[in-house]
Amino acid sequence: MSVPPLPRIEGDAHIILDIYTHSSLRNHLSGIDTSNKEYGDADRLALLGKSVLDLAITHHWFRKSLSPEQLRGKQRESLSDERLVEIIQGYNLGHKLRYAPGIPVDSEMCRTFLDTYVGALFIRNGQNSVQDFVSKLVDPAEDAEMQDTILLNPIPPHQPPPPREPPPPAPPAYYAPAPTTTGISLAVFNQVATQKGHTITWSAESTGPHHQPTWTVRCCLNGTEKGRGTGKSQKAAKEDAARQAWVTMGGFS
């Protein structure tokens, strides 16, 4: 069976990076606070998303007036191991997800990805968007015109607390991880570069007075310069160079 396009998730792009980063890679960042003020982390999104996804699946088949036995069967079949393997292939998750070496891209990883994606979709876009996506995912033959009657009383999207400063402009649609530098730390950059088989080298130099130097750091992958950063400290310049290299490499997609 086919898979529907992944719906756009509203808001900042940081949540996209969390969705596509597997826990096997996040575990290497112990001691680094990567939590988000709005949703916490990807594990919290997955926990929320699992309940929302199960509800959306049940609600879709409940509308078909199935018997209890048929309804339970559809609940099991909708995200069976076989269907999850089809979803892995349909969304090319083996290439799009970021995970530690040696970790298999299997049905369990796919279910965690779906839970996390649905959790993010729920808090950003609301239940109607979740139901529309899930119905198409588990029942591709569903007539698109029937989607307008999914919910009689749609649940409004979760609204995060108002920011202290005006929010940045909304980013373009994200159907797959984009080369964003939001939330990219040196640790994440080094992990992804190593995972992709790149050799990283750094060179640094300073100019200006000794008590107030300006640092320039070059980031090279496999001997080729991919990013150059400047800053008032060597660390700040190195982080800037890593971000530039990340963009140059297309987010290592």
Say if residue 240 is exposed, middle or buried (CB neighbours under 10 Å; 0-12, 13-18, 19+).
buried
For residues 193 and 28, what is the distance between their CA atoms, to the nearest angstrom?
14
Give, in order, the Cα–Cα distances in Å from 96 to each of 88, 99, 176, 252.
10, 10, 7, 10
Q: What are phi and psi of 61, to 5 degrees?
A: -75, -25
User: Does residue 56 contact residue 155 with C-beta atoms inside 8 Å?
Assistant: no
CA 7, CA 179: separation in Å to the nearest integer?
18
Please tell me the distance from the alpha carbon of residue 47 to that of residue 44, in angstroms, as a whole number: 5
Confidence at residue 144, expressed as pLDDT on a 0 to 100 scale:
46
Task: Please tell me what DSSP assigns to residue 230.
Answer: E
| Tens-level pLDDT at each residue, the chain (253 residues) | 789 999 999 887 789 988 998 888 776 555 555 678 888 888 999 999 999 999 999 999 999 999 999 999 999 999 999 999 999 999 999 999 988 888 899 999 999 999 999 999 999 999 999 999 999 999 988 744 444 444 445 555 556 655 566 666 665 554 444 455 555 778 888 888 888 888 889 898 888 777 788 889 999 989 898 889 888 888 888 888 888 888 888 877 6
Q: Please tell me the distance from the alpha carbon of residue 2 to that of residue 19, in angstroms, as a whole number.
A: 22
Structure tokens at 206: 């300073």
List the 200-207 sheet strands across, edge first: 200-207, 214-221, 224-231
Domains of the chain in sequence order: 13-143 (1.10.1520.10), 186-249 (3.30.160.20)
Residue 149: per-residue pLDDT: 45
In whole angstroms, what is the distance from residue 224 CA to residue 245 CA? 11
Q: What is the pLDDT of residue 23?
A: 85
- Res 147: pLDDT: 46
Of 20, 38, 41, 19, the C-alpha closest to 30 is 41
Considering the entire predicted model, what is its pTM? 0.56
DSSP state letter for 104 = -
